[in-house]
Chains A and B, each alone.
Chain A
Amino acid sequence: DTEVTQTPKHLVMGMTNKKSLKCEQHMGHRAMYWYKQKAKKPPELMFVYSYEKLSINESVPSRFSPECPNSSLLNLHLHALQPEDSALYLCASSQDRQGATDTQYFGPGTRLTVL
């Protein structure tokens, strides 16, 4: 089973709203990732959690706040977003951060529109 699930599938929010994106995997992976992807561009890394600790924050604005409640769950809390934050948000997981087993498996993504 190489499934990563994400909810919701689509989200429309205003600039003053607070919302959360959720990601779950049950593959026993210890690394989880948030990516942002704009149309016709590659995924852009936002955050990496390794063993439930934030290991990489790619200078993401504070209006995006990640949370890893346990090894299977990853959340992305959104607050005061801008229209340019509209994108596909992808969650991924991998067995570990290093070595040949670092294949990342992606969830289906959340299509976010900020009005």
Chain B
Amino acid sequence: GQNIDQPTEMTATEGAIVQINCTYQTSGFNGLFWYQQHAGEAPTFLSYNVLDGLEEKGRFSSFLSRSKGYSYLLLKELQMKDSASYLCAVVDSNYQLIWGAGTKLIIKP
């Protein structure tokens, strides 16, 4: 079967750094997405990784290791508005998006 694992919930402090991990076992791999979703709103695209390594985009970075079936999203200089769910999704061999259950990130002052 296809499986994507993320922690259910994480808490961090404003101004700090947090790393949200995602491990996956899927039938084939054609890339991994990270989306941010505020409560009651639509997911918004954060990053896409298809090759191993780190992609940096402002305060957010995403890392991929295909051999380990592992990715993480790194958020720096946390702000209160970063409180949201973060969804990891893998594109499988049929080019379908397989979604993780999401990680709810709580930022405390």
Contacts and interface: CB of A to CB of B under 8 A. Distances in A.
Interface of A: 2, 40-43, 45, 56, 88, 90, 97-98, 100, 102-109, 111
Interface of B: 30-31, 33, 40-45, 48, 50, 87, 89, 91, 95-97, 99-102, 104
Contacts of B99: 42-43
B95 A109 contact: no
Contacts of B33: 103-104
Q: Is the interface of B mostly helix, strand, loop or mixed?
A: loop
Contacts of A45: 96-97
Q: Which of B48, B87, B95, B102 is the most central at the interface, judged by chain A CB atoms within 10 Å of its CB? A: B95
Given A41-B101, A45-B97, A104-B97, A109 B42 contact: yes
27 contacts: A40-B104, A41-B101, A41-B102, A42-B89, A42-B100, A42-B101, A43-B87, A43-B99, A45-B97, A88-B40, A90-B42, A97-B95, A98-B95, A100-B31, A100-B48, A100-B50, A102-B31, A103-B33, A103-B45, A103-B48, A105-B45, A106-B42, A106-B43, A107-B42, A108-B42, A109-B42, A111-B40
Nearest to B43: A106
Contacts, number: 45
Q: Chain A at the B interface: mostly helix, strand, loop or mixed?
A: loop
Given A41-B102, A43-B99, A104-B45, 14 more contacts: A2-B45, A40-B104, A41-B101, A42-B87, A45-B96, A45-B97, A56-B96, A102-B31, A102-B91, A103-B33, A104-B33, A106-B43, A108-B41, A109-B41
Contacts of B87: 42-43
A100 B96 CA distance: 12
B66 to A, nearest CB: 14
Nearest to A50: B95
Nearest to A88: B40
A104 B89 CA distance: 11
Nearest to A104: B97
